[in-house]
Amino acid sequence: MYKKLSADEREQRLSVLTAEQRNYLENEMKRSRKTVFERFMRDEKITALKSVDITLEDNERNVIDWMITDYDDFGPGNYIGRCACNRRLRYMFTVEHQKTHKKLQYGKDHLSIFLNIEVKDVNGIINELDEIDHELDELLWKIENNEYYHEYYERIPDKTVVSESIKKHIELNLPFLNPQINRLNKYFEKQMEALEEEKRKIQREVELEKRKDERRRIEELLNEKKKIEATLEAGRKAQRETEFKRQQQENERIEKLSQEQRVRDAKLIESVKAQLGYHATFDEVAYSLVLNGLHSAVAISNIMANDFGYDKRLSVGTMHRPFIYLDVLLALKKQVDKGNLIMDESSNIVDCIFYVNPYCEEDRRNESEDLQQQTLSLF
């Protein structure tokens, strides 16, 4: 539901927060990461180190003195990290010797060799760290969209049961995470159940009141019953209104995103057609769509079929991709072979993802000038 933010996007959204809000979010993330690092080094029972691309001094060979202290995910297509072997990285870990403070940067492959563990164990810690980043991205997305969900806190009759972490979000005017919303819902349901039980208790007491001199007490209990029923009904009404408003906002958000996507697609198609003219080849159209911001081979196939007059048939396979999907894939892989594009590591049998190679910028600039000359010559 929440888009994974790049480092630059995350910094941009953090920069608009108050100093107190930002410090809280960053410190919470650091504490969570440190917990993951410490648990990983302990639970994986790492007993020996293997020197990779560096030379360890004698006093640096004790495994208990090393700790993973940082991790960077530079985002899809961004290989700006550097391993100790000088290889470009998207995922980069920093390990630090706690006494000498020597720091090493490794990718997941060399980190697994250094710690003498399996790569799948490193993938496990990446998944945990991604979950921490996802929670931060969720909060930043909700702040940007003004979705705080504080009404889930306000509707609880007895707020003394609420955890301090949730109250801290209220104090700093930060949105609630989805798990916090779930906990607040459970508090609410439990207190509503307690009120229901109190209602049944009062009813039993009313049935036991038989003597005339206790009629006043019976009337007081009946009045209390009415108050409880009013509280329950008010709670149910508030819940119905909250869920209806939430669903309405979600529908509006989805429609807005769909409309924005249609507008972007229309502009993209118009731009590509203007660049290429009427005699562009199949390969040129596919490559130009990547240059103009599309990355999915399936999405490119759909646009070429629906908006550029190519074969509109769908394959008979279970994935129902456009019939021209394999041709698009071949065209883009030619550009990969030329060094103009790179295929993202997340590509699989369902779809392949392509990005412009950031290290061939000068070649692409020359190619763009040639393409403009070809377009001018067509007219």
What pLDDT shows up at residue 299? 92
What pLDDT shows up at residue 358? 87
DSSP letter for each residue of 96-108: EETTT--EEEE-H
Neighbours of 279 (CB within 10 A): 9
pTM above 0.85, yes or no: no
What pLDDT shows up at residue 352? 94
Using CA atoms, how far residue 260 sits from 120, 254, 256, 268, 281, in Å, is 39, 10, 6, 12, 29
Neighbours of 247 (CB within 10 A): 10
Using CA atoms, how far residue 243 sits from 154, 173, 247, in Å, is 15, 22, 6
165 neighbors 25 (Cβ within 8 angstroms): no
Report mean pLDDT in 10-residue bins for the chain, 379 residues: 74 89 82 76 67 73 81 83 90 88 88 81 78 81 90 90 89 89 92 90 87 83 87 85 85 83 79 79 92 92 90 77 92 94 89 90 56 49
Q: Checking DSSP bridges between strand 91-97 and strand 81-82, what pairing results, if any?
A: unpaired
Where are the CATH 1.10.10 domain residues in the chain? 277-378
Residue 299 in tokens: 């999405």
Cβ neighbours for 51, distance < 8 A, ≥ 6 positions apart: 114
342 neighbors 355 (Cβ within 8 angstroms): yes
User: How far separated are the first and last CA of the chain, in Å rounded?
Assistant: 45
Instruction: Name the 3-class secondary structure at 341.
Output: strand
Q: What angle do CA 346, 349, 354 make, to 5 degrees?
A: 45
Instruction: Name the 3-class secondary structure at 136.
Output: helix
Closest CA to 284 of 367, 164, 205, 183: 367
| E strand or H helix at 43 | helix 19-43
- Amino acid 70 reads D
Using CA atoms, how far residue 179 sits from 62, 124, 144, 250, in Å, is 40, 21, 19, 18
CATH architecture label of 277-378: Orthogonal Bundle (1.10)
Closest CA to 355 of 335, 374, 376: 335
Interatomic CA distance for residues 342 and 337, integer angstroms: 9
In angstroms, what is the C-alpha Rg of the chain? Answer: 30
What pLDDT shows up at residue 320? 79
Interatomic CA distance for residues 153 and 364, integer angstroms: 54
169 neighbors 143 (Cβ within 8 angstroms): no
What pLDDT shows up at residue 24? 83
